[in-house]
Structure 1
Amino acid sequence: MRIFIAGASGAIGSHLVFQLVARGHEVIGTTRSAAKTGALRALGAEPVIVDALDPDSVADVVARAEPEVIVHQLTALSGPADFRHVKRMAAATNRLRTEGTDHLLAAARAVGVAKFVAQSNSGWMERTGGPVADENGRIEPNPPADAAAAVAALRHLEEAVTGISWADGIVLRYGGFYGPGTGIEAAPDAVMAGLIRKRRFPIVGGGGGVWSLVHITDAASATVAAIERGKPGIYHVGDDEPAPVRDWLPELARALGAKPPRRVPAWLVRLLAGRTPVDMMTRARGISSEKIKRELDWAPRYPTWRTGFTEGMR
């Protein structure tokens, strides 16, 4: 198939390009940076530079590409992890999930795209109903005020994509990424790994929030399955062992050669950083990926973070 990947130079994009090209697909990949076009071309994609927040630019590149499938992997989640930069990244990502989604959908409809696959995440599943949610679970309706914009952007994306009638609209709710290119990896300049090594990524409160994790290559292979065989709707993409933060974070620190994470009271984190990190660390729910395994015959190479952390970080 001829596949247009918006956000092809991002964390999952390069892995996805590699896997799709290896399976014989023709890939057009977007980036915001001319400096990244060479890397995309080396992976076998046709690179294009586009501003996803410019509807005319999006319409033009999609019309010229004439794809059968559009894959929306646009985020602005990269760079340093200081507080001001994180706020800018979050705001930019919210726009990509709202305005950017709308621009891509309009362009897709104009050229008769048959399938539209979009990135969501599982971090804001509704905070009631047990430690693990399936695809019938909804996004948290009452998030902390400092997360309201991000949650609203996720909801907009999911409703816009699953609501289309002129093509197969598929949303992938990914677990937390780790592995090459994600920032949680063995590379010495990896941002999140650096925080963990410096003991600046603590366990908050009791650390009872349940997270689902997924190795980045497994996230990419699940996306390939959705592109090739997916039906309209939502699929969860995580490994087989959702676990509380207090269980997996010390193992991740050990795999990175770091000291055990510090433990910080929830009230102190709430005072210094707001309610969102406390909520994520203490109330988050994991996801079940049984649907995508059953319906699309997908299986993760790293079925648990325990082996992923030791074998899949390089």
Structure 2
Amino acid sequence: MTLPKVFVSGASGTVGSEVAIGIRRAGYTVYGLVRSPEKAKSLVLNEIIPVIGDLKRPETYAEIISRCSIVVHCASDYADYGGVESVALDAFIQGLHNHKDSPHAARLIFTSGILVYKENRSVDEPLSEDAPREGDSDLAFFQARLKNEDFVLNLHKTHQIHGIVVRPGYVFGKAQRHFYHYFDQALEGDVFIRGRGSVAWSKIHIDDLVDGYLRILAAGDDLPGAAALSQVSGEAFNFSDGLVDTNFEIAKAFAALAGYDGPEPREDLSLTSPMADKSVIVSSEKAKRVLGWRVRHQGLLDEAHLYWDLWRTRRAQQ
């Protein structure tokens, strides 16, 4: 079976790079969008074909998308989220309409996140994909993300393209940025939380998240256990390991690994935002049921010593 060609935006980002590498390791031909020749080098070393361009300038990547039947959108430009995404999504759709990679059905996998949901602090009642979202938020970012999610989820009705939305929890492991700043703070002797210590989010190891993308890509293929394309088209999927740790618990555990023995982590409410200062706990039962997806990695705090060693080794190499 010949696998389809895949275009990945944000292929040099912390999430996008791992997604692109994982897709390539699964046997797909992968084109990765990056902004500079320097960033392209790491893609070449991982057998990914670099596309040097800019999401805001479709002419730099539109022709490449016409060679692909799948687009995995991992990039974000928070300075102008709505504007950039609108331009990019239009370009993705036009390219997929023109794709020459028959007979594979065109699909667009859109990376969102669990912060689109309203606050939920209940471990016993985690949010499913149809839970209320932040529709009444006045933040431009939220409004644009919700609009784009809905647009992608309806592509099968409006453009004959299969749209799927991925909503990861906070991603940890490897080069991910979340939570490592507590190691820096511990060495500086002042451990503080950007917001409320009681806030808790669902989380997911990057490798388990990549496995979720791969299962969505495989939908419709004649492979054992693969979901039918009709089961993923127009659907959103949460990806979470089901474990819940508060900001305070994470900060305290990470600081201890770095040898910190000072006062307990303090809250700095001036450094938070309405977007992140809320607890969001989600369920991944749909991904398990439809995709056959399972969590394989232990939780963030269960293997925190590995992330301390990783951070320390990377810092020594800088």
- TM category (shorter chain) comes to 0.7 to 0.9
The answer on whether the counterparts of 1:58 and 1:104 sit within 8 Å (CA) in structure 2 is no
Q: 1:83 aligns to what?
A: none
Q: Cα offset for 1:169?
A: 0.7
CA distance in 2 between counterparts of 1:222 and 1:94 reads 26
Partner of 2:166: helix, strand, or coil? strand
Give the drift of 1:21: 2.0
Change (3 A) 1:108 1:306: same
Is residue 2:7 matched to residue 1:4?
A: yes
Tell me, in whole angstroms, the C-alpha distance in 2 between the residues paired with 1:261 and 1:106: 53
Aligned counterpart, 1:290: 285
Q: Which secondary structure does the structure 2 equivalent of 1:108 belong to?
A: helix
Q: Which of 151-160 and 91-100 deviates more?
A: 91-100
Deviation of 1:275 after TM superposition, in Å, equals: 4.8
1:182 aligns with one of 172, 176, 182:
176
TM-score (norm 1): 0.79
Specify whether residues 287 and 32 from structure 1 end up closer, same or farther in structure 2 by C-alpha distance, changes over 3 A only: same
Map residues 1-314 of structure 1 onto 2, 5 A cutoff: 1=3, 2-63=5-66, 66-76=67-77, 90-111=78-99, 114-127=106-119, 130=122, 132-143=126-137, 145=138, 148-165=139-156, 166-184=160-178, 193-195=183-185, 198=188, 199=190, 201-202=192-193, 204-205=195-196, 207-229=197-219, 231-232=232-233, 233-258=235-260, 262-264=265-267, 269=269, 272-273=270-271, 275-276=273-274, 280-281=276-277, 283-311=278-306, 314=310
Q: 1:7: Cα distance to partner? A: 1.3
Q: Distance between the aligned counterparts of 1:192 and 1:153, measured in 2?
A: 31
Deviations 1:35-75 (A, max 9, x none): 01111011011111111111333323322xx1121100112
CA shift in 2, pair 1:139/1:58, >3 Å: farther
Q: 1:58 to 1:256 in 2, by over 3 A?
A: farther
Comparing 30-39 and 18-27, the one that deviates more: 18-27
Structure 1 residues 68-103: Cα deviation after superposition (integer angstroms, max 9, x where no partner): 211001124xxxxxxxxxxxxx32445443432333
SS of 2:54 mapped into structure 1: coil
Tell me if structure 1 keeps the 8 A contact 2:65–2:96: yes
> In 2 relative to 1, CA 203–14 (structure 1 residues): closer, same or farther, beyond 3 Å?
closer
Shift of 1:164: 0.1
Contact 2:191–2:266 (8 Å) recurs in 1:
no
SS at 1:194 equivalent: helix
Residues 221 and 120 (structure 1), Cα distance of their counterparts in 2 relative to 1, 3 Å cut: same
CA contact (8 A) 2:185 2:192 kept: yes
Indicate if the aligned counterparts of 1:120 and 1:157 stay in contact, CA closer than 8 A.
no
Question: Hey, what's the Cα distance between the residues in 2 that align with 1:280 and 1:274?
Answer: 7
The amino acid across from 2:114 in the alignment is S
Shift of 1:34: 1.2
CA distance, structure 2, for counterparts of residue 19 and residue 221 of structure 1 = 8
RMSD: 2.7
Structure 1, unaligned runs of 5 or more:
77-89
Shift, 1:172, TM fit: 0.4
Mark the CA change 1:239 to 1:60 in structure 2 (over 3 Å): closer, same or farther. same
For residues 303 and 312 of structure 1, the distance between their equivalents in structure 2, rounded to whole angstroms, comes to 12
Q: CA deviation at 1:152?
A: 1.4
Could you tell me how far 1:235 is from its partner in structure 2? 0.3
Q: Flag the 1:142–1:308 CA change in 2: closer, same or farther, 3 A.
A: farther
Distance 2:186 2:87 in 1: 34
The number of aligned residues is 283
Q: Following the alignment from structure 1 to structure 2, what is the Cα–Cα distance between the partners of residues 248 and 191? A: 11
TM-fit CA distance, 1:212: 0.8
> Could you tell me how far apart the structure 2 residues matched to 1:67 and 1:12 are?
21
More helix by percentage: 1
Distance 2:90 2:186 in 1: 36
CA distance change for structure 1 residues 55 and 203 in 2, over 3 Å: closer, same or farther?
Answer: closer
AA partner of residue 153 (structure 2): T
Distance in 1 between residues matched to 2:51 and 2:272, nearest whole Å: 39
